[in-house]
Amino acid sequence: MTELNEAQRVERAARARSAIDEFFAPALARAHTAFSARLKEICAREPWAADRIAAVANAIRILEELGRDLEAAIHDGDAAAEALLRAEKYEKLTPARRRLLGIGRF
């Protein structure tokens, strides 16, 4: 995803998770609720206003895409953490075990 090493990706994910939980998730939820209510209102009162309906629907779509992008940073960090754990486990293996698993030189 980025040119960061695994440790930096894990740290980045922790910061992203903290920011999302504290700031972004509540704000996105409030905005999503407000836009959804507005969309329902427009559809009920002005079903012929296709341009307004499309604009609000696009705003909702953008909010959802933003949420997915923020979550991707967390998932990238989780993948990096798993890679670090696998690397640590491989380093602890004996040379014979590495050969058995096909990881090291013969």
Residues 6+ apart with CB under 8 A from 106: 99
In this prediction, residues 74-98 reach a mean pLDDT of 77
Which backbone phi and psi does 37 adopt, to 5 degrees?
-65, -40
Which backbone phi and psi does 14 adopt, to 5 degrees?
-65, -45
Q: What is the pLDDT of residues 33-47, one digit of tens each?
A: 999 999 999 999 999
How far apart are alpha carbons 63 and 39 in whole angstroms?
14
pLDDT value at 104 more than 70: no
pLDDT value at 67 more than 60: yes
Q: Which of 2, 4, 12, 7 has its CA nearest to residue 88?
A: 7
